[in-house]
Amino acid sequence: MAYSDKVIDHYTNPRNVGTLDKASHKVGTGLVGAPECGDVMRLQIQVDDNNVITDAKFKTFGCGSAIASSSLATEWLKGKSIDDAMKIDNMDIVEELALPPVKIHCSVLAEDAIKAAINDYRVKNGMEPIASEKVHH
Amino acid sequence: MNIPVYLDNNATTPMDPRVLEAMLPYFVEKFGNAASRNHPFGWVAEEAVDYAREQVAKLIGASEKEIIFTSGATESDNLAIKGVFEMYKEKGNHIITTVTEHKAVLDACKHVEKLGGKVTYLGVKEDGLVDLAELEAAMTPDTILVSIMYGNNEIGVIQPIREIAAIAHKHGALMMTDAVQAVGKIPVDVNADGIDLLALSAHKIYGPKGVGALYVRRKGPRVKVTAQMDGGGHERGMRSGTLNVPGIVGLGKACELCMQEMESEAKRLSALRDKLQAALTVLEESYVNGNQEHRLPHVANISFKYVEGEGLMMAMKDLAVSSGSACTSASLEPSYVLKSLGLSDDLAHSSIRFGLGRFTTEEEVDYAVEVTKKSVTHLRELSPLWEMFKEGIDLDSIEWAEH
């Protein structure tokens, strides 16, 4: 299977690899997937007092498309408010990276990771978690 | 050294130029139909086929009359299993095989089940070998065939074929083996081993794709299989269809070369493989899959924990290998062979098969080691699981959300 240039680019030069202090109340952490399924993503956001994401980091165990999806997600998150970040849709990732149908689950996982990180931050800061009602593609 | 480096010789092998040279005259110049008995064009083709039949027979210690040419090992497996079932179903309807067989065997067995046959799929031990006591216990008076592969395509383990054949024969069953990965790589002798039917393929032994053979024993006992294709009654009535003369000539030449070079090649390849394996298992949390004593000389299957196989292969883009990871196939299940060894899904996802071959050089092996080490290290830096492992977190203690 051939990968798109954008997947290869994110895979070869992954953006924002790393770890934020998950104990900090300014940091939200989302850990999704399972080793048995061959994909685990950990996405972290650093949020300022205006609920704007100032930094995002990821680490991913998975195929090239999973790594590229999480790398792209961290790029998109930076500078967004947590409310806007909540609107990132997995199909936006599919489109941007030209993922083939068998790799759509990678984008779903990235969206789940974003939402999990935001909710972790919300709960830490006394906000209600937002339930995801979306039916995935 | 040519980049990318090819280390996927269990999938297919490059054709040996000497094989190509032997085949070339049989496309344009000597194009005859081996079944044309009445003119020289046919005679020349028939002579070439007969010669190839001898070359193939010699490699496995058979007689040339026992070789049936086919389109490849998938066809040979199908012909053997379905053909034996049809021919001997009055005698019994039970077949025994293992869960680690190639899909051609497993799916042919499933077909037999649809026709009313009974199939026992034996599990394997942690090292990939069949438990002989379990085989013995599975034998019934209705067992007509035991079909167990010689060398495994994913992990390279060599089954105790002689012992298996002895058990099959003791209970009056025939012994069939898919020997695609073993023939030409290690000594295989149908008489010494007690094999009644054997499938082999040209493209795994530096011959052309689209041609293979089925060995069918003629003496002690005389084995027959029901043809699976109707037609002109070629190949002693067991496999109709005009013979693929250039392909068969190529298969014959490939067998002859293996015969001549097997011993030295096996030594060279196992030394290279051992070097590769030793250098890669220096990496923390890397595990060799399958029995290492009873193993084909050219294969090493290694799991690099906390790194996913497909992601790893993408990092090693200048290295052609294969992975037991789910992501390499259309299904999302990781390798059934690795799982049957009792490997957890995450280790199966993390496996890479290195398959060396006749044209593999030491320089290429050194390069493969370097690229693999670099890639595993790089991907572990990206892996949250590796970070957790390093922090001493027990991954089993985490409630993963399966998706």
**Structure-token pair, residue B81:** 């299993």
In percent, how much of chain B has pLDDT > 90? 90
Distance from the B366 Cα atom to the nearest Cα atom in chain A, whole angstroms = 23
Closest-CA residue of chain B to A1: B328
Inter-chain CB proximity A34 and B400 less than 8 Å: yes
Confidence of residue A130 (pLDDT cuts 50, 70, 90): confident
Confidence of residue B125 (pLDDT cuts 50, 70, 90): very high
Does the pLDDT value for residue B330 go beyond 60? no
Query: Between these two residues, B240 and A3, which has the higher pLDDT value?
Result: B240
The whole-number pLDDT of residue A36 equals 82
Q: Which helix (H) or strand (E) holds B286?
A: strand B286-288
Closest-CA residue of chain A to B328: A1
Average pLDDT score, chain B = 95
Segment B216-222 mean pLDDT: 96
**Structure-token pair, residue A91:** 């199909």
The whole-number pLDDT of residue A134 equals 55
Nearest to A34 among B306, B314, B402 (CB): B402
Does the pLDDT value for residue A135 go beyond 80? no
Segment A97-113 mean pLDDT: 93
**Structure-token pair, residue A128:** 């209600």
Inter-chain CB proximity B345 and A37 less than 8 Å: yes
Segment B207-234 mean pLDDT: 96
Neighbours of B399 (CB within 10 A): 6
Does the pLDDT value for residue B332 go beyond 70? no
Rounded CA-CA distance B310/B301 in Å is 14
Does the pLDDT value for residue B290 go beyond 50? yes
The question of ipTM being above 0.95 is answered as no
Confidence of residue A137 (pLDDT cuts 50, 70, 90): very low
The whole-number pLDDT of residue A1 equals 60
Rounded CA-CA distance A128/B74 in Å is 59
Does the pLDDT value for residue B81 go beyond 90? yes
Any idea which fold A3-118 has?
Answer: Sufe protein. Chain: A (3.90.1010)
Inter-chain CB proximity A59 and B382 less than 8 Å: yes
Segment B289-311 mean pLDDT: 95
Confidence of residue B296 (pLDDT cuts 50, 70, 90): very high
Does the pLDDT value for residue B147 go beyond 60? yes
The whole-number pLDDT of residue B400 equals 80
The whole-number pLDDT of residue B49 equals 98
Closest-CA residue of chain B to A108: B403
Inter-chain CB proximity A59 and B346 less than 8 Å: no
Does the pLDDT value for residue B403 go beyond 60? no
Closest-CA residue of chain A to B308: A62
Confidence of residue B328 (pLDDT cuts 50, 70, 90): very low
Rounded CA-CA distance A78/A56 in Å is 6
The whole-number pLDDT of residue B402 equals 60
What residues contact residue B384 under an 8 Å CB cut-off, 6+ apart?
Answer: A31, A40, A41, A42, A59, A60, A61
Segment B35-46 mean pLDDT: 96
Average pLDDT score, chain A = 92
The whole-number pLDDT of residue B329 equals 53
Does the pLDDT value for residue B108 go beyond 50? yes
Tell me the residues of A at the B interface, defined by beta carbons under 8 Å apart: 3, 11, 14, 17, 19, 31-42, 59-64, 66-67, 102, 105, 108-109, 112
Nearest to A38 among B315, B349, B386 (CB): B349
Q: Which amino acid is at A112?
A: D
Segment A49-70 mean pLDDT: 95
Rounded CA-CA distance B290/B339 in Å is 11
Segment B79-86 mean pLDDT: 98
Q: Are strands B174-178 and B143-147 parallel, antiparallel or unpaired?
A: parallel
Q: Which helix (H) or strand (E) holds B109?
A: helix B103-114
Strands, E assignment, chain A: 27-34, 39-47, 53-61
Upper half-sphere CA count for residue A28 (Cβ side, 13 Å) = 31
**Structure-token pair, residue B374:** 């670099």
Cβ contacts (< 8 Å) between B401 and chain A: which residues? 32-34
Nearest to B384 among A11, A60, A112 (CB): A60
**Which of A19, A37, A99 is best to mutate for the B interface (most B CBs within 10 A)?**
A37
Distance from the B379 Cα atom to the nearest Cα atom in chain A, whole angstroms = 8
Which residue numbers of A are catalytic?
37, 106
**Structure-token pair, residue B163:** 């012992």
What φ, ψ does residue B303 adopt, rounded to 5°? -100, 130
The whole-number pLDDT of residue B334 equals 81
Confidence of residue B99 (pLDDT cuts 50, 70, 90): very high
The whole-number pLDDT of residue A102 equals 87
Query: Angle A87-A90-A93 (CA atoms, 0-180°, nearest 5)?
Result: 105
Rounded CA-CA distance B192/B132 in Å is 19
Cβ contacts (< 8 Å) between B306 and chain A: which residues? 61
Inter-chain CB proximity B400 and A62 less than 8 Å: no
The whole-number pLDDT of residue B323 equals 86
Cβ contacts (< 8 Å) between B395 and chain A: which residues? 35
Residue whose entry in the numeric block shows the structure tokens 């795994």? B204
The whole-number pLDDT of residue B324 equals 78
Find the catalytic residue in B109, B255, B258, B327. Answer: B327
Confidence of residue B326 (pLDDT cuts 50, 70, 90): low
Do residues B148 and B138 touch, judged by C-beta distance below 8 A? Answer: no
Tens of pLDDT, residues A6-58: 999 999 999 999 999 999 999 999 999 988 888 999 999 999 999 999 999 99
What residues contact residue A95 under an 8 Å CB cut-off, 6+ apart?
Answer: none
Burial class (CB in 10 A: 0-12, 13-18, 19+), B40: exposed
A61 beta partners: A40
Inter-chain CB proximity B385 and A61 less than 8 Å: yes
